[in-house]
A and B are shown apart, each in its own frame.
Chain A
C-alpha cells in the first residue's frame, strides 16, 4: 500500500481518530485565514490595558493639580483652567533656513514660559516663588502625560479601526519604554508636590555645596551665581535658584559673565545628571568634554558658541542615573556621588588651570528642594 492522501483521512480506524484529525484541520485552516485577526485582537487587548494605565496616570496628575490649587486657596473653576494650561502648545519655528533658528526657538519658549507663569500667578496671586514653581512643574508633568495618552489612544483607535496588525505591533513594541516613562512622570508628582529634591537636582546640589557661606546674586531668569575663592582660584558658580523648581538659564548666565562682566575664564566646568545605560551603576561619575546640559538645546547652543568663540575649554562631569531616578525623589546613591564630583573638580582645577585663574562652574538641573 503506497502513501496516499487517503491516509490523512483514515477510514479504517476508530471514529475518535477521525474526529481528532477533523478538529486538527479545522484549527489549521482557522489559523491560516483568521490568525491575523486573532493576533490583532490579542494586541488590542494588551494595548487597551496599557492605555487605561496611562489614562489613570493622566487623571491622577490632573487631580493632584486641582487638589494643590484648592489647598492653596484658589476657588475659581480649577478644572477648566487646568485643562487649558495642559493643552497649551508651542509651534516650533520653520527650519528651512536654519540661520538664527535657536534665537527663534528661545523667543517662542520664553513667550510660552511667561504666558504659563503669568497664568499660574493669576491663579495663586499671593503665593511665593516655590509654590508657583511647584504648580508649573506639576502642569508640565500633566501636559506630558496628556500627550502620551492622546498619542497612544490615537494609534490604538486607528489600529482598531483598520485592523492594521503592523501598526499595532509597532505600538506594542514601544509600549514598555513608554510605560516606564509614564511611571517615572507619575512618581515625580509626590516629590515635586512636597518640594523634595529629585535625581536631576544633583548638579544644583554640587553647585550649592560650593556656594555655601558665600554671597549669591541673581544673574539670569531664575538663575543665581556666586564668587567663591577655592584652591587659590576664583570660581564663578552658577545654579538655578532654589529651593523652587527651576532649571534657570545657564546659557544666559555664562554669556552675561563673559560679555558684561568681562570675565576671561580658564575653563567652564559643567556638572549634570546624565542617563545611564541599563547595567551601569546609579551614581557613577564620569568626566568628558563638551556642554553637559539637556533640554531643547538653547542653553547648550549658547554655551558651545561662547566657549568656542573665546576658546575656553568645556569640561563635563556627569552623574549617571536612570530616567526614573532623574525625575523622582533623590536617592542615597546619587547623593553619595557629591564627594566624587568635588574630587573631580579639584583634579581639573589643579591640572587644567593655574592659581589665580577664573573658572566658571555650572550645576545643571532642576533645583527643586535644593537651596544655596
Chain B
C-alpha cells in the first residue's frame, strides 16, 4: 500500500495462519505469494503431521 490515494486509509500487513488439524497447534507468519487457504503447510513442530493454511487475513500495523 505504498501510495495512499485516500487519506485515513490504514497501513496493514497480511498474515498466514497455519494450523495442525491433529494437535490444534497454530502458527502465524507473514503471507507469502502462492499461499492460499486450505493449502498444505509445513510439518507440525509438535506432532509431525502436515499442517494446513487455515486462514489468511490482514492485521493493522500499529506504530
Given A53-B6, A183-B6, decide whether A371 and B14 contact each other with a Cβ distance below 8 A: no
Whole-angstrom distance between the alpha carbons of A288 and B10 in the complex?
34
Tell me the minimal C-beta distance from B27 to chain A in angstroms: 15
Given A196-B14, A370-B36, decide whether A335 and B55 contact each other with a Cβ distance below 8 A: yes
B6–A369 CB distance below 8 A: no
Whole-angstrom distance between the alpha carbons of A201 and B38 in the complex?
13
Chain A residues within 8 Å of B36, by CB = 195, 197, 242-243, 369-371
A196–B56 CB distance below 8 A: yes
B38–A372 CB distance below 8 A: yes
Chain A residues within 8 Å of B34, by CB = 195
B57–A205 CB distance below 8 A: no
Tell me the minimal C-beta distance from A369 to chain B in angstroms: 5
Given A212-B38, A369-B37, A371-B36, decide whether A197 and B56 contact each other with a Cβ distance below 8 A: yes
Whole-angstrom distance between the alpha carbons of A372 and B53 in the complex?
11
In the complex, which range does the number of interface residues on chain B fall in?
Answer: 20 to 34
What is the interface of chain B mostly: helix, strand, loop, or mixed?
loop
B57–A335 CB distance below 8 A: yes
B38–A329 CB distance below 8 A: no
Which of B3, B12, B21, B33 lies in contact with A329, CB distance below 8 A? B12
In the complex, which range does the number of interface residues on chain A fall in?
Answer: 20 to 34
Chain A residues within 8 Å of B24, by CB = none
Given A329-B12, A332-B59, A371-B39, decide whether A56 and B33 contact each other with a Cβ distance below 8 A: no
326-357 of chain A: CB within 8 A of chain B: 328-332, 334-335
A370–B38 CB distance below 8 A: yes
Whole-angstrom distance between the alpha carbons of A53 and B57 in the complex?
27
Whole-angstrom distance between the alpha carbons of A369 and B37 in the complex?
6
A205–B1 CB distance below 8 A: no
99-158 of chain A: CB within 8 A of chain B: none
B5–A371 CB distance below 8 A: no
Tell me the minimal C-beta distance from B10 to chain A in angstroms: 10
Whole-angstrom distance between the alpha carbons of A128 and B6 in the complex?
33
Q: Is A307 an interface residue (CB 8 A)?
A: no
Interface string of B27-63 (1 = CB under 8 A from A): 0000101111111000000000000100111110000
Whole-angstrom distance between the alpha carbons of A179 and B8 in the complex?
13
B39–A329 CB distance below 8 A: no
B31–A187 CB distance below 8 A: no
Tell me the minimal C-beta distance from B13 to chain A in angstroms: 10
Interface string of A297-340 (1 = CB under 8 A from B): 00000000000000000000000000000001111101100000
Chain B residues within 8 Å of A57, by CB = 5
Whole-angstrom distance between the alpha carbons of A191 and B35 in the complex?
12
B58–A331 CB distance below 8 A: yes
Whole-angstrom distance between the alpha carbons of A372 and B38 in the complex?
6
A329–B5 CB distance below 8 A: no
Q: Is A194 an interface residue (CB 8 A)?
A: yes
Chain B residues within 8 Å of A192, by CB = none
Chain A residues within 8 Å of B37, by CB = 197, 201, 205, 208, 242-243, 369-371
Q: Is A222 an interface residue (CB 8 A)?
A: no
Whole-angstrom distance between the alpha carbons of A329 and B13 in the complex?
10
Interface string of A152-181 (1 = CB under 8 A from B): 000000000000000000000000000100
- A-B pairs, top 7 by smallest CB distance, nearest first, are A243-B36, A371-B38, A329-B58, A330-B57, A370-B37, A335-B55, A183-B6
